[in-house]
Each structure stands twice: as structure tokens, then as C-alpha cells.
Structure 1
Amino acid sequence: MKRVAMFIIAALAMAGCTTKEDFVLFHDTNISQPNAGKQVIDLTSVAKYEYKIQPHDRISITMYNHPELGTTSTASQREDTRGVLVDANGYVRLPLVKNVHVAGLSQRAAQQKIEKAYSAFLEDAELYLEVLNKRAYILGEVKKPGEVRLFNEKATLLQLLAQAGDLTDSANRHAIVVLKNRYNKVYTETVDLTGPNSIKLANLMIYPNDIVYVAPNDIKSINVGISETNPGLQLIGNIIQPAVQVKYLGD
């Protein structure tokens, strides 16, 4: 969560010093640039998005004809012990085939690569691979901030807000910020849930490692500012009060 928090701070800082045109929400790798200096996203290619396996992911492998070679997991196991871990160098260690590099591959590509490795030992090496720890993050003015597991690899913004228990009374419904890290760049979109297109915007797709930040409204910002200022004012008052009392007694 510390890494996520640092990412949000950096992303918001970047968003604050750029125009809205500089960062456009997108869900895929096809980017067109009709205007110099602007990133314009081809939203028609949304369905082509595929999660790429990363170091420290946990993956599950089911071997259809050789179940003893799969990664056995039970429902009672903790999520951080299920499946098999992709190590820091992007390799996964499996029976017979030993180390296979899967980082940077989609689930389908990794599945085909491992099947090919097993085909050197087995005639019927068919398997199913799944990443177990796909998460998105929702922070800020929601009732249950934190990680949200994505069972279907994606969820709508509305579903994510629902899983977070809805917005708090202090949420700014005009400023739901969606942050996506693509090609080592942060792309942001500020969503207004009160406008005429709110239903359409609520159905924006959220993918693994995307971050949704719900900003506080102006009233809460003012209250927070006052609460942060009060200790300083009290300290000044404590310093000044004896001097005032001495002057009063002297008069």
C-alpha cells in the first residue's frame, strides 16, 4: 500500500502541472497522435487489453491430464500462499521443466510457453494458467478504501465504488480521479458522477493495478485546513497569553 500511495502522490503532482489534454484515460496499447504533444487514446480497442504477468505475482496452473503437476490450492489457504510465486527475476519454478520465464507475458502467452516446455516430457501437456492476485485500488473518500480483487480481470468504476461501500458524505462527486500506469507514464481522467453522462462514465473499465482516488469536497478541505491550523494558533496563544497578563497586571 505504501508503493500505491507514493504512486498516487506522484501521479497527482504530474496531473496538477499539466493540462487535461495531456492525460487521457485509456485501456489499451494503441495510441494515435493527431496533434503534437497530445496523447489520444483509441477507445475502440478496449476489449484487446490483456494483463501482463509481473514479478511477485502468484499464478495457478491446472494440468488437465496430469493434475499432480499442477499448483494445488485449497479454499482454506491464505491468498498469499496459493498457487506459485513468480520470483523477482520473472521466473516460475515448476516440476519437470524447472524455471520458466513468464514476466511480461499475458496469461495466454505464458500458458502456451509452459505447455511447450512440458511437451518435451509429456505427450498431452494441456494446462490452464490464471493470475491469482489481480487487484485495483480505491482510496480517498470511500467507506472501505483499499485493494479490490478483480475476479474477471476487470470491473466497471461503478462496481469498484460499490465494493468500496459507496462514497462518504465528504466525497467530491465531481472529482473521481482514475489513474493508469502505461508505458511508464501516468494517465489520468477526472470523472464527474453528477453530470448528464454520469452513467456512461460510471461504466468505465478498471483493470489490474489501476487506481481510483475520490477527492474530498471543499467543505472537508476547509475543515481539515482549520484543524491543521488550530494547534499552531493555540501555541501562539499560549506564548502570547503570559505577556498579556504581565502587561495587564503592570497597568
Structure 2
Amino acid sequence: MKSSFPVACLVLCAVLLPAAAGGATAPATPGTTKTEKEYMPYKITRGDRLTISVLGEPDLRVGGIRVEAIGTVILPLVKDVRLVGLTIAEAQDTIARAYREGRFLRDPQVTVTVEEYAPRTVLVSGKVNIQGRQEIPPDTKFTITDLIGKAGGFTETARSKEVKVTRTMPDGTLKVFTLDVESAMKGRSSASARDAGFVLEPDDIIYVPEKII
């Protein structure tokens, strides 16, 4: 009588292999980790050095022009044009509109190139472990929670539910945002999407007040 052991082994393997395959965990797909930073179109900031040209108008080309502290550049014919806080595409549209509205050109095709990037920093003070200026990347979103991480976190006496961010708006006015950063960093349900993902911009001033005891 022939042994049935080989047959039994084959049957057992046929049962176990599909189950093992079904329970296997697929490897993580590269490029989907939470640590990746989201791309953000570059926005022109004070001190950037630009080259601006208009197709077919060589006399209107300016090279190496600095964005002034007030956020403007001086261009032929149209004089001051405010570019700070604009993306490259928005800056090109703004300059083209200035030439159209001034009746200098009917349909100008403007090209703006950043020749040299100015240092992009924010200033953080108050109840954080590392005060002072922090650099922010030019082409990725840098949020308030990213900043607090770079600043070594809050001190024990920080009033982290009322962090103040002061920003100079494109029209030159100041706007103050109050953010509940503590709830955002701890993943509380009370945290708003705005507070958790608040994106900082160059020259923002961040102040972390002290708890009232």
C-alpha cells in the first residue's frame, strides 16, 4: 500500500499558501509619507532680484532689479508696480495689466524670472524654547506647527492656544491672526483646519504669549 503522506502534504500546501498570500501586508508606496512637504508656488518677497522682459519690446527689459522694501519694482513707463506676495504668474499678469491700462501696449507678453532669492525668514518670540529668526523653504508649505517644531516646542508657561501671527498684507496693512496651535499639534477635535494648516509667509512675526496664572 502506497503512503498517502505526499498527497496530504500537497493538499495542506494548497490550503495554506493562498491564506498566507491574502494575509500579507503590501509594502508602503514610496512618496506617501506624512513627512513629505506639499509643493507651493513661489511668491515674490522683498529683496528678490528679478529680470523682467516684454516680448518684442527690448527697451522695456530690466535685469537684476530688486523688489523694494515697500514691495514694489520700478519699471519703464509704468513706474511703481507692487509685486510682493504674488506668484510668478500673478506678477506677469500684474505687469501686463499695468502696460495695458496705461495705454502703452495692447497685449504685452511679460516674463518674470527670479535671478536671486532674498532670505526668507519669520521671527518667533515669546514662550518657545528657541527664539529668533527661522528660515522657511521657498517652494513648500511651511506651517505654524512646522515653525514651533523648529523653535524647539513651547515652554511650560506658553499660552499655546492663542499664538499671534502678525502679517504685512499686499496693500501694506497689518493683519493679526490668533491660532490654537496646541490643539492642532495634539490632534484634538477642537482644532480647526485653518489652525492646523496655517501657512507662514516671509516676514511674518509670531508671538507666543505666557499663560495667565
TM-score range, shorter chain: 0.3 to 0.5
Specify which structure has the higher proportion of helix. Answer: 1
* TM-score, normalised relative to structure 1: 0.42
Report which of the two structures shows the higher radius of gyration computed on alpha carbons: 2
